[in-house]
Structure 1
Amino acid sequence: MKLLQLALAGVMMLCALMPASAKDVPVQFESGRNVTFITDDPGGVIVDFFKKYSDMRDAGTKVILSGECASACTLMLGMLRPELVCATPDASLGFHSASVITREPGKPDIIEHGREMSLLVWNSYPGKVRKFLAARGWSGANAHPDIIWVRGKNLRKMIRPCTAADLS
């Protein structure tokens, strides 16, 4: 088990060091700032998000959360500098434990709790986020497939509200 966790951590580190693909390059505005708007991101493969956010962190990309950011999308909370991330009043975050999908031709997909990946995600979150999630039933190691949505006042405890300067 420990060997598997170390191998997964190694894969994450290698992915974070690889250069970005063209689709991951942030938008550059006339002001010269790199800004990414998240408006409707359902998440996806955890490794892909570690890579994406590592590239954004290295580029100093500002992130404006203006819609839903769920699942692996929430990894930004632990990977990006807090001063470069803000949320509009319409923003929301959705958290849940990780899943592993086994696919075989001609058979239905098998979806199981991914304990090691859940712990990796859990440990990437800041302490205040882990505390909030634990109070709602997810401790990181346990399966929690239901989405824990965070909006409004609770979201502002995790991400600072956007200012007029952020949006200009």
Structure 2
Amino acid sequence: MRFWVPATILIALSGPAHADLRITRDHGGYVEEYKAKYQRIRARGERVIIDGICNSACTMVFGIVPMNKICVTPRASLGFHLAYYDKAYTFGLKVNSSAGTTDLMSYYPPTVKSWISRNGGLTNEMKKIKNGRDLWQIVDPCPEEFF
């Protein structure tokens, strides 16, 4: 049995599907994977809602996805630290990567770089921003319907 569907309906059904990325518990990972992930999100025009932990490589979102497509809920927190090599290749030791840190910093907008600078620069220890004025200087709060 065959069905006929008007072309206008097919176009509407086959158009790009837009979905929001909701970050709730992201502790980071490999920088290259985050670059690719956020470039796909940017290309699709999706929004990013930070609704919890966004640490380490997760924070690269601010340099890849347009800032007008990112917002934070009251549960949001950001964490920044020096880049380091995969511990699987350094016998379980945390070995800093100056090249990795330089690459990471190159993605951050001035608001993020300024916060990092005001808070003593990147170190091995995670430096966190929680909901409030410091966070809102970097990224806008989400409208209430996103909570």
Q: Which bracket does the TM-score occupy, shorter chain normalised?
A: 0.7 to 0.9
Q: How many residues align?
A: 130
Instruction: State the match for 2:18 in structure 1.
Output: 33
| Residue aligned with 2:52, SS | strand
Instruction: State the match for 1:118 in structure 2.
Output: 101
Instruction: State the match for 1:157 in structure 2.
Output: 137
Q: Percent identity?
A: 28
User: d(CA) in 2 for partners of 1:108 and 1:40?
Assistant: 27
> C-alpha root-mean-square deviation of aligned residues, in Å?
1.8
Instruction: State the match for 2:56 in structure 1.
Output: 71
Q: Deviations over 1:56-93 (max 9, x none)?
A: 10011111100010000000011111111110011010
Distance 1:59 1:145, change over 3 A: same
User: d(CA) in 2 for partners of 1:52 and 1:125?
Assistant: 16
Q: Tell me, which stretches of 5 or more residues in structure 2 are unaligned?
A: 1-16
TM-score if structure 2 supplies the norm length? 0.82
Give 1:102 shift. Answer: 5.3
Distance 1:55 1:135, change over 3 A: same
Give 1:132 shift. Answer: 1.1
Instruction: State the match for 1:128 in structure 2.
Output: 111
Which has the bigger relative contact order, CA under 8 A and spacing at least 6?
2
Provide runs of 4+ in structure 1 moved above 4 Å.
none
| Residue aligned with 1:129, SS | helix
Higher gyration radius (CA): 2
TM-score if structure 1 supplies the norm length? 0.72
More strand by share: 1
1:27-106 equivalences in 2 (<5 Å): 33-101=18-86, 103=88
1:7-22 equivalences in 2 (<5 Å): none
| Residue aligned with 1:37, SS | strand
Kept after mapping to 1: 8 A contact 2:18/2:44: no
User: d(CA) in 1 for partners of 2:25 and 2:88?
Assistant: 26
Instruction: State the match for 2:5 in structure 1.
Output: none
Q: Tell me, which stretches of 5 or more residues in structure 1 are unaligned?
A: 1-31
Give 1:34 shift. Answer: 1.5
Give 1:135 shift. Answer: 1.4
The residue type equivalent to 2:144 in the other structure is: A
User: d(CA) in 1 for partners of 2:40 and 2:18?
Assistant: 15
The residue type equivalent to 2:67 in the other structure is: P
User: d(CA) in 2 for partners of 1:103 and 1:84?
Assistant: 35
The residue type equivalent to 2:113 in the other structure is: R
Kept after mapping to 2: 8 A contact 1:34/1:60: no
